[in-house]
Structure 1
């Protein structure tokens, strides 16, 4: 049986134990991450925390709607062994009991019905030399090699790096969302999850990869480019250097895209497609 728990009713000890022992273990479902990104979430629970499903909420027009927070890619059902029957019970409970703008399950969740899919690209822990030789696209290999005149450096989150982000970030049109992004970076930095990887031409920063580092995975939160130096191939150089430094010990999550050109860029480094299901109401989403 599935029941809904409000935030103050959740047994976080049992919740955390379920997450840590789950087949679908996912960083975004951790309490501190959801608290930061959503601030308003509830929990669907099966049995005595045998399976759990965090549900982020957003209040609109006096009602609570289910909506994935900014910068949170996947949530879904977490259990010791993924069970399509139990997952489907969660899915049906959510659809019947909630107004869903957008909810993303995780790549390990299987269901008795077919859901619409989003794309994600991941490079598993690998030998860098073999990855580069066998899985890089030929063009990406040569582009990364051509860009070796650039200099790679990991830098701190400070006034200079924030100024570079401020001047070059193109992905968030709303000022309020951009300010939330900066607060998220401060949170990640304070908790030891943030890596800022820069590409320099001489002494000038021209590209910046914002990366989340947790456990055995790196996740690309943003790739920020000074368009004045587009011909220097900084993005290819940066990703190649990050993989060279870390892919032997951490997988690399590109965080997905349905834009064809970005997909090809991800795949050109040997990334593997991993799809995940989602629910979305386009009508409700327009007024969110």
Structure 2
């Protein structure tokens, strides 16, 4: 079916109608709510099909005079959202408008989007656990390795709590993640603050922390969305990893949300060890699409090739 898409600036978007489309879409993800995008994106506009039949958020930025579409932090899947689904709404028109406007595009679409092969879609793995069963049924599907890890954690006086402030959480995150990723800085911290406070104001965000005696050793910010809980920002200290504190936190999340029509969305991963950890809970693989388009003018195309080799 042919779909007419149009560009709409952020200030011209009807938040109530946009968020309604996202919320009631069969592939609903909280990343595409306007308040969420406002918290994490430097700039963004929207592609809208017809009279809000479908929406497609487009975060973008400009560097050296070149505009590019990018994936903001803490947003695994964006792309098209529609109550009518990808079988009815034509996503190709939206992608063509993106390619026409941006010489560089690196975005991740959602698992409900069917992208034509000629766009060169790159599949990426996610793992989801259906929580629609009592905890004992879910636990019975845990891998032997996960059960042993939880048993090991039981030997330590670990206790969990939800009484952790966003400030404590973000400071803990920067302390233990900055050495792994130099791009994590004070800007990251401010983005996390905006996101966590906004999500909590809507009742959609929970921080669970694990303490060993009086020391915080692991924490995770879980984001709630339509029919899902997202494992959004997990972080552990070296001691937390040693005693399997994140295993305890994830298990607490399963206990809390068991027997509900929800999914625990693990948000990845392509890393074998992380994927094995998620699969240990009984989670199933569900792919989404990474979409790349690159038509940079000279000399930016040369600089980009050189930077990739470093």
TM-score, structure 1 normalization: 0.88
Q: Which of 176, 184, 203 in structure 2 is aligned with 1:192? A: 203
Q: Which of 243, 246, 249 in structure 1 is aligned with 2:254? A: 243
- The CA deviation at 1:39 is 4.3
Counterpart residue number, 1:106: 110
1:92-103 equivalences in 2 (<5 Å): 92-103=96-107
Q: Which of 10, 14, 22 in structure 1 is aligned with 2:13? A: 10
Counterpart residue number, 2:127: 121
Counterpart residue number, 1:53: 56
Q: How many residues align?
A: 286
Separation in 1, partners of 2:8, 2:170: 39
Label 1:252 to 1:226 Cα distance change in 2 as closer, same or farther (>3 A).
Answer: same
Is 1:260–2:272 an aligned residue pair?
yes
Q: Which runs of 5+ in 1 are unaligned?
A: none
The runs of 4+ residues in structure 1 deviating greater than 6 Å are none
Q: Which of 11, 17, 22 in structure 2 is aligned with 1:19? A: 22
| Contact 1:100 1:279 survives alignment (8 Å) | no
Q: Which runs of 5+ in 2 are unaligned?
A: 295-300
Q: What root-mean-square deviation, in Å, do the aligned CA atoms of Structure 1 and Structure 2 show?
A: 2.5
Counterpart residue number, 1:157: 165
- The CA deviation at 1:275 is 0.6
Decide which moves more: 46-55 or 173-182: 173-182
Counterpart residue number, 2:188: 178
| SS of residue paired to 1:131 | helix
| SS of residue paired to 1:33 | helix
Decide which moves more: 97-106 or 7-16: 7-16
Is 1:209–2:217 an aligned residue pair?
no
- The CA deviation at 1:261 is 0.9
TM-score, structure 2 normalization: 0.82
